[in-house]
Amino acid sequence: MPVVDLAVSRVRELNKALHQLPRNTNETHWTVQNPAGQHSIAVGIDAPIEVMIEGHVGYYCAGMNKDAQITISGNAGVGLAENMMSGVVRLAGDASQAAGATGRGGLLIIEGNASARCGISMKGIDIVVKGSIGPMSAFMAQTGNLVVLGDAGEALGDSIYEARLFVRGEVKSLGADCEEKPLGSEERAILAGLLDRAGVDVPADSFRLFGSARRLYHFHVDNAY
């Protein structure tokens, strides 16, 4: 099991080693020590490996992830799992702004809270936040699912397309063209599956569903300036 100490090695060297792994590698369990809030750790992985990062990370950790299972034992800076393609990223602490931004697939699990713009422009990623999220989360969210066990800040789902937003707590306000929707059997099944994968034992019926009202899909003269 490779162990990389970032107090000694550079992040660039770690990422280069991870990028060079063949998809059939037998070096499948990596440990990263002393991340010390450095940026862009474990980005662009394209192999079915497990990476354990022991500590806090800076900007864009686990960005562009494909197939890897990445676990972070601390907090994360801006852009955690940005443009994620597949795999699983699990954060033990809190995430700063834009967690899961533009993500196209995979599952991001945040054990703590997420700051503003969580899931901004998400394009297929699934995000489960066990705490609360900040304002403007799921702004222009296109597809995928955002699950929040806590509360949501202002302007949730502003200019949303077809993503589903499940919130168990209070919602401070909804953004433009976002509305509450009935929680049907299909949505319950999707939510129950995500809760199970994230290790959350709460009933799906305790959530509310929000999505697009589809009023911004077509031109309307009242919206012209």
- Mind listing the pLDDT tens digit for each residue in 118-162? 999 999 999 999 999 999 999 999 999 999 999 999 999 999 999
Which amino acid is present at 186? Answer: E
Tell me the mean pLDDT in the region 54-61.
Answer: 98
More confident residue, 217 or 1: 1
Whether the per-residue pLDDT at 220 is higher than 80: the answer is no
pLDDT of 188-199, one tens digit each? 999 999 999 999
Whether the per-residue pLDDT at 219 is higher than 80: the answer is no
More confident residue, 204 or 224: 204
Tell me the mean pLDDT in the region 182-189.
Answer: 97
pLDDT of residue 41: 98
Whether the per-residue pLDDT at 176 is higher than 80: the answer is yes
Record the pTM: 0.95
